Amino acid sequence: MATTTHYFFAVRLPDSVKQIIHDQMMKTTSTFRFKRWVHREDYHITLAFLGSVGEEQLSSVIQLVGESLKGGAGFQLQIKSLDIFGNKQSPRIFWAGVSKERRLYDLQKTVYRQCIEAGFTLESRPYHPHITLARKWAAEDEFTSVLLERYNPFLENPLSFQVNEVVLYKTNLDQEPKYEPVASFPLK
């Protein structure tokens, strides 16, 4: 069975920030017992998920997004929180949350609009920026949300970083890390 390649636009995290996140999270694996931890090279903040893409449409969206981001300014973000998606007792996604920064939402809207212009049908739910850390609760006992604050290394020491690049990634499900950069769009 052939796997379909998917593409998505995301904020690339600096390598030093990825390493800090990874190091902090590996200290918590006995508390946060998830089945699959995301490879540190795959940490990112999704802006728009495209799904499978034809070559012509891929070329078009790269051009449109590139033009719309020319001269765009970088900005600061902070990683502050930990949270989950899915069932509260057996979550499917464990993630880190970033500060509410208007410029991140503006960046996402810009990329989203260009993807729509290129003919994509995108997710219509409100944008919820996050960094996926792990998937699928694996412990026999139920997850408890008290852990999210008690074992959050970023609660008292938020991790700050500069957003200075948007990347179009391609998903390679049979590799690790899974996400391969296809195009890069620097911010000043």
Q: What residues make up the domain containing 86?
A: 7-186
Residue 101 pLDDT class (50, 70, 90 cuts): very high
Enumerate the H helices of the chain as residue ranges. Answer: 15-26, 55-69, 102-117, 146-150
Q: How far apart are the first and last CA of the chain?
A: 43
Q: What kind and span of H or E run contains 14?
A: none
Residue 1 counted as domain residue: no
Residue 2 counted as domain residue: no
| Domain tally, the chain | 1
Q: Which of 62, 87, 103 lies closest to 143, judged by CA?
A: 87
Q: Report, as residue numbers or ranges, the catalytic residues.
A: 44, 130
Average pLDDT for 26-50: 97
- What was the pLDDT predicted at 3? 65
Residue 86 counted as domain residue: yes
Average pLDDT for 136-149: 95
**What is the average pLDDT value for the chain, to the nearest integer?**
96
Non-local (6+) Cβ contacts of 182 within 8 A are 7, 58, 62, 167, 168, 169, 170
Residue 1 pLDDT class (50, 70, 90 cuts): very low
